[in-house]
């Protein structure tokens, strides 16, 4: 009996021990679950994780990089990995060298400051994710990985961890910033980034991953469950050199005339390709200009006199008036109807123009003549006037690929509440109607393209590497917006506006130019929020060369407040600067006969650059050249050009992949192409030819390294 009682007692004791042991295990599990310093056990198991693909690049028409996702890294440190006396001793030994390296690379603290910071983090032991630096470039990461303590240990041993944070870079920012746009992963992307987001994004993949210290995930296997597909590259129609010229010319005019904002659009006539699109807003306090909004696409304004092109087109299409018909403009003042504001011409102070042919009304931009002509033809049936304008494709958005196109306004019918007895003549000179600068450019481009209304194209292909995987075709909105005789008459009138020595509003703009332009000036009062007008808006739209149109350019400048406000003074010079550039850099626009250069006392100086480009140009111009290939077996890709009295001497320039080339004397285009193919990032200062490069020729290149080019 006594033995049985002892056995029972022992059993209860053992039960109590095991029960306490079990409770201890449960408590420990609970503590592990609740303790933020411990990883969740379930989360340590491999999981299927989404792998984001590499986003495609956005390229210029000639292949320059406009936007790309580049790797950037944040650096953190887990000091708790140093958990043995041996490791502490090793760490303290290398701490001075590590602190010096961090101070040299990242600054922010002195060497002693970094030492104290690291020691405090180690002694505290409270954080396993101490921030060291953010937004580190790839080449700087490589340098950090060679630092004392970090370089001779794995991540788990040193505690230093890099986390990748891809960033969208624009190497040529701020050129065309608003058109290239922004990519926001959370949504609300804009510009080309948004328009072609599906192609740029690619397709995500899946992979089995496991979590390690610091909430980092690493592959559990070498294989993907579903491989990610990188996004396609988008080749835009933007030409960087023309974009640069347009931006500079626009900035000069905004500064000179103290304007609020301005924009310039350059279209290729045959395709509708947007070659350049510049938008600048001027800070009145600092005078600095920046791309803050895409006014060319998004801002619909009353166009003023540039709308007279549509007015005259509708008049001629009616068949009731011809370019040679006479309009009496009188003394340059006219009140269309009772209650309407008095219209005037710039000639009013001098007694007016008197009788003008319709083509002269357009040439001189007579408000009175235009209004009287429209009133003469359409006063009895103003609805026919509205129908004629809508038949030209006006009043409707273009439906461009980019979001944010401004909605144009144009009366639909005369029964509208906003229609009045003044509307007919007011609209004839560009009021009570609104268009974006891009929509105006497209209308003028239709005249240059013999009547074809072409939708603007911002990109022409999707690429996989260098291979075109999808062409983006030109879209024609309307095959013909007017008859051939009407188009021919308008082309002649637009040439008269710009003809030097004539009576056009832009007759002084293109004096002494080697090409002929065709266009129309515009000067309108600028509406202000809440009603009424404040200041003016200057504009110019047209194309060149007049005899064989290649490019259409539209310029709008809002509220110039100094040194004049007329379109011919403020906006037309921007057109001219862009046209000068295109004419000077596009040999096909020049009808120069061979032998013309022989009369010059000395041949024109040429930049260094691509051999094929230079020799093709010399042959087209009839310039003699000698290509020195002594000591070389291959045809050189790049040469240095030395202009002699009657020929150009070309000597090969080395372009070894193992050393940085000498790009001095080259055009920016050739220099950037050469350097980017070696993985270098190019910063630019100035305009013109490369004068100086920050890294000496012959130096071994490091991918991701930045080189500064100074231009003269």
Per residue in 218-230, pLDDT tens? 666 667 788 788 8
- Both structure tokens of 276: 């350049």
Q: Taking a C-beta distance cutoff of 8 angstroms, is the pair 700, 675 a contact?
A: no
Instruction: Please name every residue paired with 507 in a beta bridge, in sequence order, or none if there are none.
Output: none
pLDDT tens string 175-229: 888 899 888 877 778 899 999 999 999 888 887 777 765 566 666 666 778 878 8
Alpha-carbon gap, residue 323 to 312, rounded angstroms: 9
Q: What is the pLDDT of residue 4?
A: 63
More confident residue, 347 or 696: 347
Give residue-wise pLDDT tens across range 47-66: 887 777 889 999 999 899 99
The pLDDT of residue 249 is 96
Is 65 in a helix, a strand, or coil?
strand
Q: Decide whether 240-588 matches 596-711 in CATH topology.
A: no
pLDDT of amino acid 572:
97
Strand order in the sheet with 648-652: 609-610, 638-643, 648-652, 625-627
Q: 75: helix, coil or strand?
A: strand
Residue 380 has pLDDT above 60, yes or no: yes
The topology (CATH level 3) of 596-711 is: Trypsin Inhibitor V; Chain A (3.30.10)
Buried b / exposed e over 517-526, threshold 16 CB at 10 Å, is bbbbbbbbeb
| Across 90-94, 351-355, 539-543, least confident range | 90-94
How many other CB atoms sit within 10 Å of the CB of residue 274?
28
Which of 80, 193, 192 shows the shortest CA–CA distance to 126? 80
Strands (E) located in 138-243: 160-164, 167-169, 205-212, 216-219, 233-236
Question: Percentage of the chain surpassing pLDDT 70?
Answer: 92
Whether the predicted pLDDT of 539 surpasses 50: yes
Average pLDDT over residues 683-691: 78
More confident residue, 651 or 560: 560
Record: fold of 240-588 = Beta-lactamase (3.40.710)
- Domain range annotation of the chain: 2-35, 49-234, 240-588, 596-711
Question: What is the C-alpha R_g of the chain?
Answer: 35
- What pLDDT was estimated at residue 574? 98
Neighbours of 416 (CB within 10 A): 11
Q: Give the C-alpha separation, 494 to 542, whole Å.
A: 8
Is pLDDT of 351 > 70? Answer: yes
Selection from 388, 495, 407, 393 nearest residue 451 by Cα: 393
- What does pLDDT average to over the chain? 87
- Please provide the CATH number assigned to the domain covering 49-234: 3.90.1310.10
Helix intervals (H) in 125-176: 138-144, 155-158
Classified as helix, coil or strand, 254 is helix
Q: What SS3 class is residue 364?
A: helix
How far the first Cα of the chain sits from its last, in Å, is 113
Closest CA to 213 of 93, 119, 94, 130: 130
The pLDDT of 107-128, averaged and rounded, is: 87
Q: How far is CA 165 from the centre of its chain?
A: 23
Is there a contact between 78 and 213 (Cβ–Cβ < 8 Å)?
A: yes
Distances (CA, A) of 132 to 108, 344, 473: 10, 69, 50
The residue among 555, 619, 640 whose CA lies nearest residue 247 is: 555
């Amino acid at each position: 009996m006594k033995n049985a009682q002892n056995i029972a007692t022992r059993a209860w004791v053992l039960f109590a021990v095991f029960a306490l042991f079990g409770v201890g295990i449960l408590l420990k599990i609970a503590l592990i679950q609740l303790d933020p310093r411990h990883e969740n056990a379930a989360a340590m198991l491999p999981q299927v994780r989404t792998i984001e693909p590499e986003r495609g690049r956005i390229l210029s028409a000639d292949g320059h990089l406009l936007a790309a996702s580049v790797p950037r890294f944040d650096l953190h440190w887990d000091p708790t990995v140093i958990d043995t006396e041996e490791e502490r001793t090793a760490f303290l030994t290398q701490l001075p060298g590590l602190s010096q390296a961090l101070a040299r690379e990242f600054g922010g603290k002195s060497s002693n400051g970094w030492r104290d910071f690291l020691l405090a983090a180690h002694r505290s032991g409270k954080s396993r994710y101490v921030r060291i630096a953010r937004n580190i470039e790839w080449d700087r990461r490589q340098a950090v990985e060679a630092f004392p303590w970090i370089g001779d240990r794995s991540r788990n041993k040193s505690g230093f961890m890099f986390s990748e944070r891809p960033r969208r870079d624009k190497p040529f920012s701020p050129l065309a910033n608003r058109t290239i746009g922004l990519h926001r992963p959370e949504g609300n992307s804009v510009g080309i980034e948004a328009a072609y987001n599906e192609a740029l994004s690619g397709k995500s993949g899946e992979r089995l991953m496991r979590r390690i210290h610091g909430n980092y995930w690493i592959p559990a296997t070498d294989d993907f469950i579903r491989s990610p597909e990188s996004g396609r590259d988008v080749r835009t129609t933007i030409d960087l050199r023309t974009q640069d010229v347009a931006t500079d010319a626009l900035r000069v005019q905004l500064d000179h005339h103290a304007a609020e904002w301005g924009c310039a659009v350059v279209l290729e006539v045959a395709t509708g390709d947007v070659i350049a699109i510049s938008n600048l807003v001027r800070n009145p306090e600092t005078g600095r200009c920046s791309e803050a909004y895409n006014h060319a696409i998004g801002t619909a304004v009353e166009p003023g006199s540039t709308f007279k092109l549509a007015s005259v087109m509708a008049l001629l299409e009616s068949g009731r008036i011809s370019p040679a018909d006479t309009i009496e403009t009188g003394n340059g003042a006219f009140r269309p109807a009772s209650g309407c504001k008095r219209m005037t011409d710039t000639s009013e102070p001098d007694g007016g123009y008197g009788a003008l042919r319709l083509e002269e009304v357009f040439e001189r931009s007579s408000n009175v003549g235009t209004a009287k002509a429209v009133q003469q033809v359409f006063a009895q049936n103003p609805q026919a006037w509205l129908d004629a304008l809508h038949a030209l494709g006006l009043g409707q958005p273009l439906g461009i690929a980019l979001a944010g196109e401004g909605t144009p306004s144009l009366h639909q019918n005369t029964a509208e509440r906003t229609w009045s007895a003044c509307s007919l003549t007011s609209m004839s000179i560009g009021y009570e109607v609104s268009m974006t600068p891009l929509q105006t450019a497209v209308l003028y481009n239709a005249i240059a393209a013999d009547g074809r209304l072409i939708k603007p194209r911002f990109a022409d292909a999707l690429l996989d590497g260098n291979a075109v995987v999808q062409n983006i075709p030109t879209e024609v909105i309307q095959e013909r917006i007017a008859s051939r005789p009407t188009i021919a008459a308008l082309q002649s009138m637009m040439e008269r506006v710009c003809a030097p020595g004539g009576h056009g509003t832009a007759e002084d703009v293109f004096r002494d130019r080697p090409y002929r332009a065709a266009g129309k000036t515009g000067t309108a009062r600028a509406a202000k929020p809440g009603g009424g007008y404040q200041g003016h808006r200057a504009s110019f739209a047209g194309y060149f060369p007049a005899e064989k149109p290649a490019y259409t350019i539209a310029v709008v400048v809002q509220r110039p407040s100094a040194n004049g406000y007329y379109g011919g003074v403020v906006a037309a010079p921007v057109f001219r600067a862009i046209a000068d550039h295109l004419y000077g850099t596009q040999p096909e626009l020049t009808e120069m006969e061979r032998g013309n250069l022989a009369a010059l006392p000395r041949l024109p100086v040429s930049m260094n650059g691509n051999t094929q480009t230079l020799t093709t140009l010399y042959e087209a111009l009839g310039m003699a050249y000698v290509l020195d290939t002594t000591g070389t077996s291959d045809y050189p890709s790049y040469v240095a050009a030395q202009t002699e009295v009657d020929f150009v001497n070309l000597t090969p320039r080395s372009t070894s992949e193992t050393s940085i080339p000498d790009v001095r004397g080259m055009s920016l285009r050739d220099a950037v192409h050469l350097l980017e193919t070696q993985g270098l990032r190019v910063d630019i200062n100035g305009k013109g030819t490369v004068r100086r490069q920050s890294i000496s020729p012959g130096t071994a290149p490091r991918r991701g390294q930045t080189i500064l080019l100074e231009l003269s």
